[in-house]
Amino acid sequence: MKLFLDDFRLFFDNSSLKIISNECLKRSEAAFQVKNGNIPKWTKAIDITNSLPKGKVVLNSPYIQIQNNDINSSVLINALEKLLPWRKGPFMFNQLKLDSEWQCDLKWQRIKKHIKPLKNKTVLDVGAGNGYFTLRMAMDGAKKALGIEPFLLFNYQFRVIKSMINSPLNALLLPIRLEEIPKVQLFDTVFSMGVLYHQRNHLEHLTQLKEMMTPGAELVLETLIVEGPKGYSLTPDGRYAQMRNVYCLPSIGTLESWLIDMKFKNINVVDICKTTPDEQRRTPWIGDNAASLEDFLDPSDSSLTKEGYPAPTRAIVVCQN
């Protein structure tokens, strides 16, 4: 993986995270060695963007924008299209808009007003996708923003974005799972957004998040929920909103009780909202014939998924270690 080592060293050297760097490097290098027929195409994308002039990164809300008028947009589009589908974003390169399936700024706005400021914080973003949120954390002043995401395509997307930025932004994405990262209490804020319901063992996931947190650190947990009393959770039989690997959707009371059992403090449900087609939508950047929210819902009743379960509703819970 091009660009990886230099960026890795710059991120970990002279940082409190140095203590986990060897293990993270070993795991990441192993992940990048995995055989995947798409890797030559994804590597080509990085070769292209890495040869382009680098530019300044700014927030041009909702876009993370890279400003560089010297970029030839047809060359850039050719590179970005090699990394379809773009699920998370949006990004902008000069005036070229990459409208991803998810308009992630909406989630960030819902979260940002309820969490402790990230300025000078060391933060972990678990299940970071292509690092859109990890970049936003760094742009909000985090001292170090580490994203971990096992899905390789998303790591290539992150590298392509990072390869075009001229400043050493304090954000890094590594292709590792939460289970694999050494458990050291290093982080002031830990994010798990859209990850809990993908875990076979939700309590183990919460335990591992806690093990990464300094005393008093903040957990930002965003997950799918269902209506119901405390103690109720839905385990879909097969797919949920066409997603595989959805194991457990708790009621709010159940979710809170899990956090109490894990000895988290000051548990605060700060937001509950239904996912809308403004936030998750079909765009040209998810490729031909790709489906999105509208295709996952019952065409005659948008309050239900195609499988007949309640349509996606997400909660944000903030609590302390």
Residues at the site binding ligand SAM, with contacts judged by CB under 6 A = 88, 102, 104, 126-129, 133, 148-151, 177-179, 193-195, 198
Count Cβ atoms below 10 Å from residue 257 Cβ, excluding itself: 15
The least distance separating ligand SAM from the CB of residue 221, rounded to whole angstroms, comes to 11
CB closer to ligand SAM out of 194 and 310 = 194
The least distance separating ligand SAM from the CB of residue 72, rounded to whole angstroms, comes to 31
The least distance separating ligand SAM from the CB of residue 35, rounded to whole angstroms, comes to 18
How far apart CA 210 and CA 197 sit, in angstroms, is 17
Rounded to the nearest 5°, which phi and psi values hold at 33? -80, -15
CB closer to ligand SAM out of 150 and 182 = 150
Shortest Cβ contact with ligand SAM: which residue?
A: 127
For the chain, list the strands marked E by DSSP: 56-60, 63-67, 91-93, 96-98, 122-126, 144-148, 171-174, 187-193, 213-225, 233-234, 249-250, 265-274, 297-298, 301-305, 313-320
Contact 244, 252 (CB under 8 A): no
The least distance separating ligand SAM from the CB of residue 75, rounded to whole angstroms, comes to 28
The closest of 62, 56, 181, 42 to 125, measured between CA atoms, is 181
CB closer to ligand SAM out of 100 and 163 = 100
CB closer to ligand SAM out of 198 and 239 = 198
List beta partners, residue 146.
Answer: 124, 172
CB closer to ligand SAM out of 169 and 190 = 190
Residue with tokens 């300094």: 214
CB closer to ligand SAM out of 31 and 71 = 31
The least distance separating ligand SAM from the CB of residue 59, rounded to whole angstroms, comes to 17
What angle (nearest 5°) sits at the alpha carbon of residue 290, between those of residues 105 and 158? 45
The least distance separating ligand SAM from the CB of residue 169, rounded to whole angstroms, comes to 18
